[in-house]
Structure 1
């Protein structure tokens, strides 16, 4: 399993797209942590 820290960059959809591509190329599972950490309202939005 590959673990990606989503708080390193902008924490948006590009991290998800890159993680999906990485998973397909390597054949390994990918886990993204803290993807919205740097957003003004981190966590799930309503």
Structure 2
């Protein structure tokens, strides 16, 4: 039960980032640049 609650919160955040901030596709190629995009999106979402 507790795992489901935590997962629900996290999946909601990921869904919002994918829908609203374009994380369904990476803008740049490469691990470092993709990581930068994810971090900047997390900052914008926070």
The question of a shared fold, defined as TM-score above 0.5 by the shorter chain, is answered with no
Return the structure number with greater relative CO, CA threshold 8 A, min gap 6.
1
> Which protein is richer in helix relative to its size?
2
Q: What TM-score range do you get, normalising by the shorter chain?
A: 0.3 to 0.5
> Which protein is richer in strand relative to its size?
1
